[in-house]
Amino acid sequence: MNTAATHAPTAARSATEPLHVTLVVGSNRHGRFGPVVADWLLGHLRDRDDLVAEVVDVAEAELPTSFEPTPEATAALSGITPKLARADAFVVLTPEYNHSFPAGLKNLVDWHFAEWRAKPVALVSYGGLSGGLRAVEHLRQVFAELHAVTVRDTVSFHNAGASFDDKGALRDPAGPDAAAKTMLDQLAWWGEALREARATRPYAD
């Protein structure tokens, strides 16, 4: 069941404008590694002239799991929902917990519906030997249900803690940097195509 906020997507923007991309940082675990990967991702997003990035961090979202529109939930959503609604595309960063993605990320996703519809989602993961790829495959199913389009290529960090140095820089950036470019190129293509489609004909499920 979609117990979702009822905020409508923002009006279509000019095709010549950069795409607005919201990076969702999906972990709120104590001692999380996510901010290190998020900073690296933001560097790639901000290096592009065709993308404008902002961040939604699950760790800063005090959302109950009851989906009751309490004053506290309304206040929390006021800092989250507008960033999702005005996005043309998303990058979702997730670790892998017990072969899936974190509960806090699922809760944030479930509080929204219209904000995801007919928009592309790129997926970036980190973890141990699997690199978080099982979490990515579960997220594909969730976003398909929400009428979002996940792009084919991902970026994953196997044994992520060893991939970055103490300053948060990649020890061997060639592979991840190339993967990020491919993924963001696909996200930009889908973002532009779907923005134009939404402007031409409103999406209906």
Domain boundaries, the chain: 19-28+35-200
Residue 11 has pLDDT above 60, yes or no: no
Residue 177's pLDDT is what? 98
In three-state secondary structure terms, 200 is helix
Task: Report how far apart, in Å, the C-alpha atoms of 194 and of each of 19, 114, 120, 133, 149 are.
Answer: 11, 14, 8, 26, 9
CATH no., domain 19-28+35-200? 3.40.50.360
d(CA 180, CA 177): 5
| Per-residue pLDDT, 16 | 78
Tell me how far apart the alpha carbons of residues 81 and 6 are, in angstroms, rounded to a whole number: 10
Specify the long-range contacts of residues 46-50, CB closer than 8 Å, at least 24 apart. Answer: 48/184, 48/188, 49/18, 50/18, 50/19, 50/188
Structure tokens at 113: 């519906």
For the whole prediction, is pTM greater than 0.85?
Answer: yes
Q: Burial-class residue 115 by CB neighbours within 10 Å (0-12, 13-18, 19+).
A: buried
What would the pLDDT profile of 41-98 be if each residue is shown by its tens digit? 999 999 999 999 999 999 999 999 999 999 999 999 999 999 999 999 999 999 999 9
Per-residue pLDDT at 69 = 93
Provide the pLDDT for residue 117.
Answer: 98
What is the pLDDT, as a whole number, of residue 4?
A: 42
Q: What is the pLDDT of residues 137-188, one digit of tens each?
A: 999 999 999 999 999 999 999 999 999 999 999 999 999 999 999 999 999 9
pLDDT at 10: 44
